[in-house]
Amino acid sequence: MSSSNRVVEWVKTALIVVLSTSALLLGWRTGLLNDFLRDIPFFGSVAGFVQEATGTETVSVSAKEAARPLTIVITDADGERFGVRYDTDMRNTIYDRMSVILREALGSISDIEEISEDEWRTALGGAGVYFEYASPVRLSVMDAWLRAGMPDIKEDVSMRRVFVAFSEDRNRIYFSDHDSGLFFGAETASSAGITQTLGAYAPNGARFAFETNPEIASKAPYLLVLFENLHPVISSVAAGRAELLLDMAIDAFGHRGEQNITDYDAAGALVCTGTEFTIRVEQDGTVIYRRTDGLPSVGRGPILNESKMIEQARAVVADTIGTTSGDADVFFESFENDLSNYSVVTFGYYIAGGYVSLPEDGYAARGVFIEGMITEAELNFRSFIITDELVWLLPEIQALAAAGGDFMLCWSDAGPELLQPFWVRV
């Protein structure tokens, strides 16, 4: 589901009141109430990708940060788990240590085969590291982000959840295909001493929903249940003066040094018009980019594949809204295309383990590609800060019971203000 459709669905759902009432009643009836540094910067440069598209240079840009997950779970040799999602600093620290595990697993992957859901669930109970992403990502895109050097594979699945499992006799990687609902497993190379590393994290009771109450969890069995009821209030403001945002956009889209005319229009927006582009900076921090020199012509450069289009868009996002987002991360959300070589890449704001819903379409950034070239983009510059104020929400197992399906933490951002957290159905 695209970011815009998901936000519309969230607005219609209005789960704040529902989760606060029905879950409490259900929890009372069922007894559930009683049961319960970043060593490589995210910021790449789009310049290299622009040069690659014109055939002038080979690109070598580390994109490890693009593969940063929303959730990490570590299961030790005894089956005890440590899960982290809402503590962003802790999650990032663990990712810096554990990302190599996923990279090595992908780089040595072999003999991918379809497996049963029972085998997938059994694997999740053993020793290993589980990564869950904000949105599904194709295996080939993850390989490009991590520079894993994965061998050619037939199953280029769209995965949101992946588990690297370790045992005495063999190591394996497991993942689910978001599109088909199928599960896959594959052999990977050995990682000596990894089980001792897994045991260094004290268990915190993290469980997957299917391990709690099968009936309640039937529609969201792999939701990770954590026992954290307090979540922060977020402050939100527009990020930066119009002149600064325009300057960043000119650099990110590769128009530095080109002649242009810049002025404010009647609506108070700063508009920059060049020979090949226009950039409009709205008063609320929204930047709209358009190419005006027509569609790409034959022979202008190689048509980029999905992975390279996503990475080119990510580099623009990282050099712009990624530098001003405060405590929030900007994560890849979706890639959509049609038979006419028209593709759309979207990104969202995530903070403290949850999603920030913006007005209208709801995305943090959106890039349109035609024949592999960015022809238009929208960047919503916002700055988010985690405050010291905490709000009590229903425990996740009760929220799951009330929602009747998958849900996540959310803040709704309608302008400069303090944003209250709530659960929403996804």
Q: Do residue 82 and residue 19 come from a single domain?
A: no
Give the pLDDT confidence score for residue 294 in this predicted structure: 64
Give the pLDDT confidence score for residue 339 in this predicted structure: 65
Q: Do residue 4 and residue 72 come from a single domain?
A: no
Q: Do residue 79 and residue 54 come from a single domain?
A: no
Per-residue pLDDT of the chain (426 residues; tens, 9 = 90+): 444 444 434 433 434 333 333 333 333 233 333 333 223 222 223 333 333 332 322 233 345 788 999 999 999 988 999 999 999 999 999 999 888 889 999 999 988 899 999 999 999 999 999 999 999 999 889 998 998 888 876 668 899 999 999 987 779 999 999 989 999 999 998 665 676 678 788 999 999 999 987 777 888 899 999 988 899 999 999 888 999 999 999 999 999 999 999 999 999 999 999 999 999 999 999 999 999 876 554 445 556 788 889 989 999 999 999 999 999 999 999 999 876 678 999 999 999 999 999 987 789 999 999 877 899 999 999 999 999 999 999 988 888 888 878 889 999 998 778 999 999 988
Domain boundary among 164, 194, 228: 228
Give the pLDDT confidence score for residue 68 in this predicted structure: 93
Q: Do residue 188 and residue 149 come from a single domain?
A: yes
Record the tokens describing residue 4, joined without a space: 């815009």
Domain boundary among 213, 228, 243: 228
Q: Do residue 146 and residue 181 come from a single domain?
A: yes
Q: Do residue 224 and residue 246 come from a single domain?
A: no
Domain boundary among 177, 207, 228: 228
Q: Do residue 34 and residue 157 come from a single domain?
A: no
Its domain, for residue 334, covers 1-63+232-426
Give the pLDDT confidence score for residue 306 in this predicted structure: 86
Give the pLDDT confidence score for residue 193 in this predicted structure: 61
Domain count, the chain: 2
Give the pLDDT confidence score for residue 154 in this predicted structure: 65
Give the pLDDT confidence score for residue 37 in this predicted structure: 26
Q: Do residue 134 and residue 207 come from a single domain?
A: yes
Q: Do residue 214 and residue 248 come from a single domain?
A: no
Q: Do residue 192 and residue 308 come from a single domain?
A: no
Q: Do residue 241 and residue 383 come from a single domain?
A: yes
Give the number of other CB atoms < 10 A from CB of residue 231: 21
What's 273's domain CATH number? 3.30.310.160
Q: Do residue 237 and residue 163 come from a single domain?
A: no
